[in-house]
Structure 1
Amino acid sequence: MKWIYFFLILANSFLRANAQVKVKFEMQNIPPSKDSVAEYFLAGNFNNWKPNDAAFQFSKVNGDYLLEKQLPVDIYEYKITRGSWDKVEAGSKGNALANRSLNLKRDTIVKITVANWADQFKKEPLKHTESVNVHILDTAFLIPQLAAKRRIWIYLPPSYISSTKKYPVLYMHDGQNLFDQLTSGYGEWGVDELLDSLIAKGQKEYIVIGIDHGGSERLKEYNPYDSEYGKGKGKAYVDFLVETLKPYVDKKYRTKKDSENTAIAGSSMGGLISMYAIATYPKVFGKAGVFSPAFWLGKTIEADIKNKLKNLNESKVYLVAGDLEGKAMVSDMKNVFQILNPTGTNKNIKMVEKADGKHSEWFWHREFVDFYKFISN
């Protein structure tokens, strides 16, 4: 009887952890817009922040706009858009707003009032904010594996011009958001300013390569597996890094080519593809920064890591996520950490969970410092 009782408790806990509840979003007092036909969407950590996701589009019912979904019990962040981030909700004076938050525990009705829309205001033009150490390697670098072209950024350490030494290299995704406020969609990481400061204080110098994402193709290019967003192109993207971009960088710049001196990092989908890259090519990438990883869109990564675990003995992996990004985000990260470091004694595999962490550039900017120190030692 005891084992039956234990089983029932375990089953009940599992059901509670995976419970789906109903949530109904009701939009009220919608401000006017320039659109000839009004369309409203929910974008959040439940749909990888896609601003025009048809599965999260409001429907007009008797003059009101409603959206009903079944979602797991969890903590969610979201915003209202009119189909793009240029048309995201804003404050009454056009000011940017923090993400809305929903701690979903039971069937819930959420009433939403939008103050205004970002595109209704004339904005002060943003200015370039990249430091003098950042350059454009190429505005349209060919990616033969994807039949596409991308802008490639490069951060050269302060001593690069005046020295003859070689440097380790960090490859990062979402290049638009790394160095320059003008090109970033949601704010920049400020990697260049962070590095300038850390290096001035005696930290190791790295070259950083930033690869622009492909806009609407990002959810496929940063996913090595097929998903609800389409056929995954992540394997081809990582092959590009290994077969095309890295050889080019190693030839043109003074780099340390070995895996111990080659790192890769990114956030969200960039975290997923960084984990895949180091698991697939551990002899190329010896270190990885996995920020707020979207493992939920690529659960096969767990099986891949298990199958390739013996090849990751010398690898350094830094995983970080915040509690305010949702329980699934943190639990998925913990699952991967457990696979990588089952005894918890491997100092080369580190996991950081921050209570205030959100799915945002400010969070990744802050956590980048400890990641950089981790790969520099």
Structure 2
Amino acid sequence: MAHLRFLIPALPPGTPPGTLFLTGEHRGWISNPEGWTFDQSGEGAMLDAELAAGTLLSVKVRLQLPDGHILEEGDAWGGRAPAHTVTVQEQGGVVTLNLEGWQDDREGKGRPSQSRPPRMEWNLTAPWGEQTVRLWWPEGHDGRDLPLLVMHDGQNVFDEVPSFSGQSWRAADAAQARAEAGYPCLIAALSVNAERSRRYVPFAFRLNEFKPGADEYLDWIETGLLPALEDAFGPVPPECRALAGSSFGGLVTLYGGLRRPDVFGTLGVFSPAIWPDDFALLRWMEGRAAPHMRVWLDMGDHEAHTVAEAAEVVHLTHELGAGLQPRVAQVQVTIAEGHWHDEAAWAARFPAFLTWWLSGLASAHSAAQ
């Protein structure tokens, strides 16, 4: 076991009295302070803990108020903040936790954006109610007749203001750079709410209450979203359309592409969470093929609870790529060193995906001429 000291140099101004404690992946994100309580001293606090070397920690600080209510650390605008990530070394060490604030009813409103927002938003009718579509196209274009990228988790795609944890993919920044290099595209990002596990997972499991909704979601993309985009921006042939997402969004991307291989020509499968229903996707893939499909498949090497488990995830990603190889036209597998399962990692890999997708379209167009 390794000895770690978690150090909070200073509590956010206005922190109410209560019991500070640490939670995270290693505790199943429970809100019980027992055994993980900080000792407060002066402006800060400290917690000593023993953890197994090789643990990949994703942690946050919470505060239990005297009435039992729980506050979680947030950003300076009362919104969610990304987790602190730590790889536990054999020699242990000090982990400094800088807290900006606590989540409150402001919910991040007023948080400044550091990346390009979408150009417009639609609210389209869907079987589950209104579906927000966040749209972006490059400067100097009207968005018409461009290759189309449809992305899941649209609240995290562009700017940080509506994002889940104050981080975004910075997709418009990356796409604008590609446009300036001669590879423009149109991006349609679909926001999602608390029904994410139902909408993105096509197999029954606990988090979607054994009522999967991915087929309904994918049907709507085909029969609702794509026609609306065509009316507004002109037709885009299937080979020039891409679908992309991360985690469960990566799962629904791969499932959707293989389910209807005539709708999209390229899939961006980022850190796919393929474990629901005992890896049902792998069984479902048997007998499926998309001979004209190009697939980007990636994973970080820190996407698990331990270093050993992360290595197994990387191995499974390679196996998934090998399993896809005979079913599609091309598979590009990327393993990113030091990347965790978060928006910062996906933002770092997104520009390479865009380059691979759009340059591949250009190469195919040149070869056809």
DSSP 3-state at the match of 1:87? strand
2:85 is matched with 100
Percent identical pairs in the alignment equals 20
DSSP 3-state at the match of 1:213? coil
Shift in Å, 1:306: 2.1
1:332 is matched with 316
Shift in Å, 1:59: 3.3
Q: 1:236-256 deviations in whole A, cap 9, x for unaligned? A: 211221121112111222231
When residues 86 and 117 of structure 1 are mapped into structure 2, their CA distance, relative to the original with a 3 A threshold, is: farther
Distance 2:153 2:82 in 1: 22
Structure 2: which amino acid aligns with 1:265? Answer: A
Q: 1:210-241 deviations in whole A, cap 9, x for unaligned? A: 01011x22122211112221232222211221
1:158 is matched with 139
Matched, 1:248 2:228: yes
Distance 1:373 1:207 in 2: 14
1:212 is matched with 191
2:45 is matched with none
Contact in 2 for aligned 1:135/1:154 (Cα 8 Å): yes
Contact in 2 for aligned 1:306/1:339 (Cα 8 Å): no
Provide the aligned C-alpha RMSD in A. 4.3
Matched, 1:59 2:32: yes
2:280 is matched with 300
1:361 is matched with 343
Query: Among residues 76, 88, 100, which one is paired with 2:73 in the alignment?
Result: 88
Q: Map of 1:126-275 to 2, 5 A cutoff?
A: 126-129=111-114, 131=116, 134-138=118-122, 140-144=123-127, 147-161=128-142, 166-186=145-165, 187-203=167-183, 205-214=184-193, 216-229=194-207, 230-231=209-210, 232-256=212-236, 258-275=237-254
Structure 2: which amino acid aligns with 1:141? Answer: L
When residues 63 and 154 of structure 1 are mapped into structure 2, their CA distance, relative to the original with a 3 A threshold, is: closer
1:79 is matched with 59
Contact in 2 for aligned 1:340/1:349 (Cα 8 Å): yes
Distance 2:70 2:37 in 1: 23
Shift in Å, 1:265: 0.4
Contact in 2 for aligned 1:286/1:315 (Cα 8 Å): yes
Distance 1:39 1:246 in 2: 49
Distance 1:78 1:135 in 2: 34
When residues 130 and 302 of structure 1 are mapped into structure 2, their CA distance, relative to the original with a 3 A threshold, is: same
2:42 is matched with none
More displaced 10-residue stretch of structure 1: 81-90 or 233-242: 81-90
How many residue pairs match? The answer is: 325
Distance 2:71 2:271 in 1: 24
Shift in Å, 1:100: 2.7
Shift in Å, 1:305: 1.9
Distance 2:314 2:214 in 1: 22
Give the unaligned 5+ runs of structure 1: 1-21, 47-52, 66-71
Instruction: Report the TM-score when normalising by structure 2.
Output: 0.72
Q: 1:320-373 deviations in whole A, cap 9, x for unaligned? A: 111111325323322321210169xx7711100122222222221221122112
Distance 2:296 2:36 in 1: 49
Give the unaligned 5+ runs of structure 2: 39-51, 64-68, 305-309, 361-369
Q: 1:258-317 deviations in whole A, cap 9, x for unaligned? A: 3201110011111111111101111101110011111123511112222312xx111000
Contact in 2 for aligned 1:267/1:291 (Cα 8 Å): yes
Contact in 2 for aligned 1:322/1:356 (Cα 8 Å): yes
